[in-house]
Structure 1
Amino acid sequence: MAAQHDAPLETLFLPFASGVLSWPAGPVLFLRARDGWPLREHAQPGQLVCEQSFRPFADALEASGWTVRDEQQLADDRTRYAVVLVLPPRQREEAKALFARAVALAAPGGIVVACQHNNEGARSGEGDLQQLTGLGGKLTKNHCRAYWTAPLNGQHDAALAQRWATLDAPRAILGGRFQSRPGIFAWDRIDPASALLVEQLPADLAGRGADLGAGFGYLSAEVLARCPGVTALDLYEAEGRALALARENLARLDKPATLAYHWQDVTAGIEAEYDFIVTNPPFHTPSRADRPDIGQRFIAVAAQALRPGGRMWLVANRHLPYEQILNESFGQVRVAAERDGFKLIEATKASKSATPARAPRSTEPKWGRGGRA
C-alpha cells in the first residue's frame, strides 16, 4: 500500500496540477513509479506505463490498475512517450543512467519531469539533468525539488547520454567473483553485517534453506560453499534488479543444490517449510526511511516458515528492537557474535514435542543487553 503522504510523488505532479505544465493526451511513462492519488488525478486508464523493480511498490501499482513493465520490456518496446516522469534514486550513478534512459524513451517534443526530496540528492539531480538536456523549469515544495526539461528535439548532449546510460550496468566486483551494479544494497563490497554472519556460519546447515533479502547473492553463495549438506536453497528478494544478479552469480557455482528465485516481498509472508534460514533483513525502504518493523516482520515470517527445530541465523544492527519478536517467535535465542555495532543471532524454533513449563512472566529478554544468551 502506498504511503498516505508521499512528498516527492506529490511534488512531481505539482507542475501539472498548478498549470505550469500541460498533461499530455499521449502515452506517459513513469520510471521508479510509486502509487498514490496524484496518478489518479492526472493519468487516464491505459495511458500510463510504470516501471518499478521493487516488488511492494510494483504490487501497489498493479493493485490500483496501472500497467507495470520492467526495464527489459521497455527496452524491447518501441513506444516513445510524451512525458517521462522520474523519481530518481539517491545513488548518483544509477540516477544518471536513469536520466539517460528517460531522454531516450521520450518522444520528439516530449519532456522529462523529475522530483527528489532535498535530503535525497535533489540539488545534484537537478544539476545532472541540466547538464544533460538543459532545464525548462523547476519548482520547490514539500521539502522537495521538481525540475524538468524543455521539449526534447535532439538538443541534449548525446555523447554524455551514451556515457551515462552505462553507469549502472552490471559489472564484476570482488575480483570477478560476483556481478553487481550501482543502486543495489552494498553493491560494490561485502557489507560488514553479512561478513559477520558468514564468519560464524555453521557448516552443519543442511536440507532445504532460504535466504530472506538475498541481494546479489553473497550469503547464498557462501551457504552453498560452506555447507555441503544443503540440498535446496530459495532466494527471496524484493528488488528485481538485485535478484537478477543473484541468479547470474549463483549460476556460476558448480553445486548440486536445487535453487529457486522469488521476486517477493517477504513481509507479505512465504509459503514453504525450511530447515534453516539466513537473513540480513533491511530496516529501511528505498527512500531510506527508518523502518525497524520490516526486520521484525522478517523474523516473524521466518519463524512461521521454519520446521520445528529449524534454525534462523540473523544479523542486524545492534540497536534494532528485535528482542521481543525473537523471544515471542522462537524457542531458543542466543547472541552468537557481536562486532562493529552488529549482532548475530541464532534462533531455534521450538519442537512440537517440547512442552516447556511456563515460568512467571518477566520483562527481561531471553538475551541481555550485554549480548549473552
Structure 2
Amino acid sequence: MAAQHDAPLETLFLPFGGALTWPAGPVLFLRARDGWPLRERAQPGQLVCEQSFRPFADALEASGWTVRDEQQLGEDATRYAVVLVLPPRQREEARALFARALALAAPGGIVVACQHNNEGARSGEGDLQQLAGLGGKMTKNHCRVYWTAPLNGQHDAALAQRWAALDAPRAILSGRFQSRPGIFAWDRIDPASALLVEQLPADLAGRGADLGAGYGYLSTEVLQRCPQVTGLDLFEAEGRALALARENLEKLASPAKLGFHWHDVTAGVQGQYDFIVTNPPFHTPSRGDRPDIGRRFIAVAAEALRPGGRMWLVANRHLPYEQILNESFGDVRVAAERDGFKLIEATKAKAAPVRSGKRA
C-alpha cells in the first residue's frame, strides 16, 4: 500500500536538507504525526512525540517512537535542541503551542513549524515572528515552514506567558461545562448535538455509550434526562477532550457507572450496550473530509448494541450513511431534520427464535 501523502509533515523536514542542521541530541515533536520523514532524519530513541489524538499516537508508537502527553512533558526537565511543531488551525490553541515550544527548547535551540496554506500558515508564521523572531522560512507543497533563530532569551517573555494561557481549560455556557480552545465546538453547543438532545427519549435505560463524546455534552444530557440509565461509557479519540468530559461528568454525581476511554472508535469497542448516542466526526486533525469515519462508527455501534438496542445518530444531511445503516440495523428512521442535519434512530434487529423440529 502506498504511503499517504502528508504535505505539512513532509515540508516540515525540508529545511534540514541545508538551511538547518539536524541535532545529535533529543528532538521534541509537538502534535506529531508518523511518516517517512521521521525515519529519514531521527535516530531510534532520539525523538519524543506529543500527540493527544489516539489514532496518530497509536501510529507513532507502532513505528517505535516515544509518545508523551502534555502533563508528562511538563513534569520532565529535558530541554530540546529542536522543537518541531505542526500547529493546529485554531489560533488560540496554536499560539499556546508556540509558547510551550519556546519553554521546552534548550538554550540555543530552535523551534520549527509548518502549516498548510489553507490551514493558517501565514498567520502562524506571523505569530511565531511576533513571539520570537524568525531565522528563516520556505514554501513548498502548498505549505509554509518557518523557524526561529537560535533561542537565547531574545523572545518576548511577557507575550509568551500570556499566550501559554490561551488554551487553558475554562468555564463555558454559564459555568455548566469546562472546555478549551481546539476541542470540537469548544465554546458552544453545536447545532447537530442540540438537535439530538431535543429528540432524546427519556426512556433510554440500562447501559449506554457515547461514541465521540467530545467534552461530554451529549453524555451529560443523557444522564440528566434519562433516569433509568445505569451505566455510560464515553469513547473519545482526543485526549484533551476526554479529560474535560471526565471533569464535566464527575461533578454531576450521577448514580450511573461511568467509563472514560481514550480510544479510536473505528478500531471497534468492547462491551454490549442497550443504547448508543453519537455525533460522529467526518474529518481528522490532519485535514480533509472523511465520511468513512462516520460509516465505521455506525458499523461499530451495530456490533456493540444488544439485539433490540437503539442508536441515536446525528449527522450532516449530505453524508452518505443510508447504505451502512440499512445493512447494519433492522429498523432505521429519520427522526428529525433541521439546518442541514439529520437525526436517525436505528434499532438493531432482535435475534430470531430458535425453532426445534423433528428430523424426518
Give me the whole-angstrom Cα distance separating, in 2, the residues matched to 1:316 and 1:254.
30
Cα 1:108–1:156, aligned 2, differ >3 Å: closer, same or farther? same
Give me the whole-angstrom Cα distance separating, in 2, the residues matched to 1:313 and 1:251.
23
Give me the whole-angstrom Cα distance separating, in 1, the residues matched to 2:162 and 2:120.
21
Give me the whole-angstrom Cα distance separating, in 2, the residues matched to 1:354 and 1:84.
62
Matched, 1:4 2:9: no
Matched residue SS, 2:318: coil
Q: CA deviation at 1:3?
A: 5.7
Alpha-carbon RMSD across the aligned residues, in angstroms, is 1.1
Aligned length, in residue pairs: 354
Aligned letter for 1:129? L
Which residue is equivalent to 2:263?
A: 264
Give me the whole-angstrom Cα distance separating, in 2, the residues matched to 1:106 and 1:234.
39
Aligned letter for 1:13? F
- Give the TM-score normalised by structure 2: 0.97
Cα 1:210–1:21, aligned 2, differ >3 Å: closer, same or farther? same
Q: CA deviation at 1:347?
A: 0.1
Aligned letter for 1:241? R
Which residue is equivalent to 1:117?
A: 116
- Give the TM-score normalised by structure 1: 0.94
Which residue is equivalent to 1:227?
A: 226
Which residue is equivalent to 1:187?
A: 186
Aligned letter for 2:15? P
Q: CA deviation at 1:353?
A: 1.9
CA contact (8 A) 1:278 1:312 kept: yes
Aligned letter for 1:115? C
CA contact (8 A) 1:135 1:147 kept: yes
Which residue is equivalent to 2:243?
A: 244
Aligned letter for 2:80? Y
**1:1-373 alignment to 2 at 5 Å?**
4-16=4-16, 18-353=17-352
Q: CA deviation at 1:336?
A: 0.3
Matched residue SS, 2:350: coil
Matched residue SS, 1:113: strand
Matched residue SS, 1:175: coil
Q: CA deviation at 1:288?
A: 3.0
After superposition, give the CA deviation of every residue in 1:143-167 in whole Å (9 maximum; x if it has no partner): 0000000000000000000000000
Give me the whole-angstrom Cα distance separating, in 2, the residues matched to 1:244 and 1:321.
31
CA contact (8 A) 1:2 1:36 kept: no
Aligned letter for 1:122? A
After superposition, give the CA deviation of every residue in 1:148-193 in whole Å (9 maximum; x if it has no partner): 0000000000000000000000000000000000000000000000
| Structure 1 gap segments, 5+ residues each | 356-373
After superposition, give the CA deviation of every residue in 1:112-146 in whole Å (9 maximum; x if it has no partner): 00000000000000000000000000000000000
Q: CA deviation at 1:2?
A: 10
After superposition, give the CA deviation of every residue in 1:254-290 in whole Å (9 maximum; x if it has no partner): 2100000000000000111000000000001112310
Aligned letter for 2:138? L
Matched residue SS, 2:158: helix
Matched residue SS, 2:72: helix
Aligned letter for 1:136? G
Matched residue SS, 1:94: helix
Q: CA deviation at 1:4?
A: 1.6
Matched residue SS, 1:155: coil
Give me the whole-angstrom Cα distance separating, in 1, the residues matched to 2:18 and 2:287.
31
Give me the whole-angstrom Cα distance separating, in 2, the residues matched to 1:12 and 1:287.
14
Give me the whole-angstrom Cα distance separating, in 1, the residues matched to 2:4 and 2:111.
25
Give me the whole-angstrom Cα distance separating, in 1, the residues matched to 2:119 and 2:29.
19
CA contact (8 A) 1:2 1:34 kept: no
Give me the whole-angstrom Cα distance separating, in 2, the residues matched to 1:354 and 1:345.
27
Aligned letter for 1:12? L
| Structure 2 gap segments, 5+ residues each | 355-360
After superposition, give the CA deviation of every residue in 1:72-95 in whole Å (9 maximum; x if it has no partner): 000000000000000000000000
Cα 1:129–1:2, aligned 2, differ >3 Å: closer, same or farther? farther
Give me the whole-angstrom Cα distance separating, in 2, the residues matched to 1:254 and 1:247.
12
Aligned letter for 1:158? A
Q: CA deviation at 1:19?
A: 1.2
Cα 1:232–1:34, aligned 2, differ >3 Å: closer, same or farther? same
Aligned letter for 1:8? P
Identity of aligned residues (%): 88
Give me the whole-angstrom Cα distance separating, in 1, the residues matched to 2:242 and 2:2.
23
Give me the whole-angstrom Cα distance separating, in 2, the residues matched to 1:258 and 1:282.
26
Q: CA deviation at 1:200?
A: 0.2
After superposition, give the CA deviation of every residue in 1:2-32 in whole Å (9 maximum; x if it has no partner): 962100000000001x211000011100000
Give me the whole-angstrom Cα distance separating, in 1, the residues matched to 2:100 and 2:144.
20
CA contact (8 A) 1:270 1:305 kept: yes
Give me the whole-angstrom Cα distance separating, in 1, the residues matched to 2:132 and 2:332.
56
Give me the whole-angstrom Cα distance separating, in 2, the residues matched to 1:86 and 1:130.
14
